[in-house]
Amino acid sequence: MGLSTEAPATDRPPAVPESFHDLLAGFRVRLERALDGWLEARRQEAAAGESPEMLELIDGVGLLATHGGKRLRPALVYYTYRAFNGGSDDEVLPLALATELLHTYLLIHDDIMDHAEVRRGLPAAHVRFRDAHRAHGLKGDAADFGRSVAILLGDLAQSWAVELAAPAFPRGSGELARCFSAMCQEVVGGQYLELLVAQRRAGTDEELLRVLRLKSGRYTCERPIQLGALLAGAPAGALADLSRYGAAVGEAFQLQDDLLGMFGDAGTVGKPVDADLREGKYTFLIHRALQAAGPGQRRALEAALGNPDATSAQVDAALRVLEETGARAAVTAMIAERLRAARAALAGLAPFDLAAEGRLFLAGLIDWLRERER
């Protein structure tokens, strides 16, 4: 199917790397080699076939898929598989790459829904094709063309994800296929609920917890961890603690992203840090602020929330409200609570004697998330 690791499955480093960062960096090399091989095989097929225009779509997906990204989701598939003594890169890398391409599909479609102009420091896919329409003097509406092509790019990435994951399904006695399908559906449901809450400019704690659980807790960590464990044939008794661990770190990750989206560095985040505010995302951060805000603070926050034309002064005033109402501190406390829960769940896995490489990665992820807050 065009996926090559360019190394025998048994060609492993002689010793476990010393840190989470080493493990993630080493995995990125493997994944990106596999991704490059997959894309090149698709290009060759397109060049030899009856649809040479597919090359533009393949490269459209490839530009985002190969440009940056933490690779956290596929790394969790990979290192959970390793934790339970899974021994073949040829077996696990296609499934890991499937989760990355699923993520690529969702990013492309998210940027359309969010009206985002930038992704990973580059023009978003719909923006690139909008600008290409203008540059080539094509007829019709350039923005509509850009959105339409970006939808196709997302569809293509999603079809590749299913193609890559499918060979692993028979090895999971049906559970692996159900897990992958659930991951695909849950994130879509979470996205829809997030849109509803944003349009209302209001939500309950339970609704926001469901968004957090479906869009991030499960999709970012819990389901990728389950995929790796199921592929390796992990004992059934380990799955409950793995799920608790994954849900906790996934929710902590999203809550941190919400903070970074308001208070982070644009170079690190890969998009303007006021984008979530101007777009009107209704997160726990906004929810807590509105709950605690006085009339003047509420007016200041609502002047910038969902206002793409908000001035710098209005944005700064809204950010002050997030601080003054204690919303930032409240979300920081939610993160700490989830990291404690993740550490407790990981401790519960001690009887299963996880392989050193996987154990180091899962423990290191908690430490990395703690560092990420600072």
pLDDT digits (tens, 9 = 90+) for 138-148: 999 999 999 99
3 belongs to a structural domain: no
pLDDT at site 9: 42
CATH, residue 25 = 1.10.600.10
pLDDT at site 3: 59
pLDDT at site 352: 93
Percentage of the chain lying above the pLDDT 90 cut: 74
Mean pLDDT of 14-36: 87
pLDDT at site 202: 79
Number of domains within the chain: 1
357 belongs to a structural domain: yes
39 belongs to a structural domain: yes
288 belongs to a structural domain: yes
147 belongs to a structural domain: yes
Mean pLDDT of 50-74: 90
Instruction: List, as one string, the DSSP characters of 152-196.
Output: HHHHHHHHHHHHHHGGGGGGGTTHHHHHHHHHHHHHHHHHHHHHH
Mean pLDDT of 228-240: 94
Q: Which of 101, 20, 129, 25 is nearest to 356 (CA)?
A: 20
90 pLDDT higher than 80: yes
Strands, E, within 29-164: which ranges?
118-119, 122-123
- Using pLDDT thresholds of 50, 70 and 90, give the confidence band for residue 365: very high
Decide: residue 267, CB within 10 A, 0-12 exposed, 13-18 middle, 19+ buried.
exposed
Q: Which domain holds residue 228?
A: 20-372
pLDDT at site 8: 41
- Using pLDDT thresholds of 50, 70 and 90, give the confidence band for residue 63: very high
pLDDT at site 267: 61
Average pLDDT along the chain? 90
109 belongs to a structural domain: yes
Q: Give residue-wise pLDDT tens across range 96-118.
A: 999 999 999 999 999 999 888 88
Angle (CA) 51-53-57 rounded to 5° is: 115
Asked whether 5 and 33 are in contact (CB, 8 A), the reply is yes
Q: Which of 298, 319, 335 is nearest to 212 (CA)?
A: 335
53 belongs to a structural domain: yes
In this predicted model, which residue has the larger pLDDT, 1 or 156?
Answer: 156
Structure tokens at 13: 């480093």
3-state DSSP call for residue 123? strand
2 belongs to a structural domain: no
Q: Give residue-wise pLDDT tens across range 166-219.
A: 999 987 678 999 999 999 999 999 999 988 988 888 788 999 999 999 988 899
Q: Give residue-wise pLDDT tens across range 264-292.
A: 776 665 566 688 888 888 899 999 999 99
- Using pLDDT thresholds of 50, 70 and 90, give the confidence band for residue 5: very low
